[in-house]
Amino acid sequence: MRDDLGHPMTSSHRPRRVVSLVPSLTEAIAASASDVLVGATEWCTHPAGLDVPRFGGTKNPDVDGILAAAPDLVVANEEENKPEHVADLRAAGMDVWVTDIRTVEQALASLARLLDVLDAPERGWLDDAAAAWSAIPEVPRAERRTALVPIWRRPWMALGRDTYAGDVLARLGVDNVLADADERYPRVDLTRIVGDVDLVVLPDEPYRFTADDGPEAFAPLPCALVSGRHLTWYGPAMVDAPRLLADAINAADGAADGDAADPSSTAPPAG
């Protein structure tokens, strides 16, 4: 078996002790093969009440602690985790399975392969996720919207090219205005972008945008406050993601339509 980057596993046996360094994959493993999970990061918040040892964060894992726990397999992600930590674990003789996910299709295929490696007995949620995403009709060009998707402020940063979240939104009829950017998460100058978009999508992670922190910078553009977990996590969150994200986007559009009917509600862009 080879991981998403083509690196082979050294063992042919089903892993019995797994440490996950990716919150979304931790949730997936807990839902499908909870008996093998023996460690996660401090950021692994799902499922609620997960009772396993914590080994630092995604960007600063406790490599020595992981080695001391003697797992059969460490699960990582090409984007979430640093290559030097993967290299250190492999140099110490550890099997590391690295996922590389940029689209919904890649997520479904990658997750299926990971569950195969774990010989996971419970994978009904993966079938449900595939069904949920396959049921979405293609949005006609005339009905598509263009959006800016900030992920941080001070400085402002946003989704750029080649991201899983960008593909998620595109399937819902929302095209990322920075999809052709040179970087995956570029810094942005709002004064040069907000005039080119129909909508702003504000997730609650990694920066926690709220009704009082974020939308004021884009008035009078409609702002959809969405769950970062459903926008960016590949795993069980994919089951409800199409419905919840579409509801949030439609609600923002509906609120904007109501404001447009009320002249007193308009204001110049904040920049």
In a shared domain, residues 100 and 162: no
Residue 5 placed within a domain: no
In a shared domain, residues 110 and 197: no
Query: In the chain, pLDDT over 70 holds for what percent of residues?
Result: 94
- As a whole number, mean pLDDT of residues 236-253 equals 96
Residue 6 placed within a domain: no
**Given this model, what pLDDT does residue 49 score?**
92
Residue 71 placed within a domain: yes
In a shared domain, residues 175 and 82: no
Q: How confident is the model at residue 257 (pLDDT cuts 50, 70, 90)?
A: low
Residue 13 placed within a domain: no
In a shared domain, residues 154 and 111: no
Mean model confidence pLDDT for the chain = 93
* Domain span holding position 31: 18-122
**Given this model, what pLDDT does residue 57 score?**
96
In a shared domain, residues 159 and 235: yes
Coil/strand/helix, residue 30: helix
Q: Which residue has the tokens 């920066």?
A: 207
In a shared domain, residues 118 and 150: no
**Given this model, what pLDDT does residue 271 score?**
34
In a shared domain, residues 79 and 181: no
The predicted-structure confidence for 8-33, as pLDDT tens digits, reads as follows 999 888 999 999 999 999 999 999 99
Q: Is the model's pLDDT at 61 over the cut of 50?
A: yes
**Given this model, what pLDDT does residue 108 score?**
98
Query: In the chain, pLDDT over 90 holds for what percent of residues?
Result: 88
CB-CB contact of 29 with 75 (8 Å) = yes
In a shared domain, residues 148 and 226: yes
Q: Is the model's pLDDT at 197 over the cut of 80?
A: yes
Q: Is the model's pLDDT at 259 over the cut of 80?
A: no
Dihedral of CA atoms 104, 27, 159, 113 in degrees, nearest 10, equals: -40
Vertex 31 angle, CA 26 and 33, to 5°: 85
In a shared domain, residues 54 and 149: no
- Beta partners for residue 61, in sequence order: 56
Helix (H) or strand (E) holding 164: helix 164-171
Q: How confident is the model at residue 270 (pLDDT cuts 50, 70, 90)?
A: very low
In a shared domain, residues 114 and 147: no
CB environment 93-126: b (16+ within 10 A), e (fewer): ebbbbbbebbbbebbbebbebbbebbebeebebb
Region class of 213: left (phi > 0), else alpha (psi between -120 and 50), else beta: beta
Q: How confident is the model at residue 256 (pLDDT cuts 50, 70, 90)?
A: low
Distance CA 224, CA 230 (A): 13
Per mean pLDDT, which range of 75-89, 113-127, 219-233, 248-262 is the poorest? 248-262
Residue 259 placed within a domain: yes
Coil/strand/helix, residue 91: helix
Distance CA 234, CA 31 (A): 13
- Domain total in the chain: 2
Q: Is the model's pLDDT at 261 over the cut of 70?
A: no
Q: What is the CATH number of the domain that holds 256?
A: 3.40.50.1980
Q: Is the model's pLDDT at 173 over the cut of 70?
A: yes
Residue 129 placed within a domain: no
| Domain end marker among 69, 90, 122 | 122
Within 10 A of 128 (CB to CB), how many other CB atoms are there? 14
In a shared domain, residues 118 and 145: no
List phi, psi (to 5°) of 77: -135, 140
* Tokens encoding 1: 């078996």
**Given this model, what pLDDT does residue 264 score?**
45
- As a whole number, mean pLDDT of residues 167-194 equals 95
In a shared domain, residues 152 and 249: yes
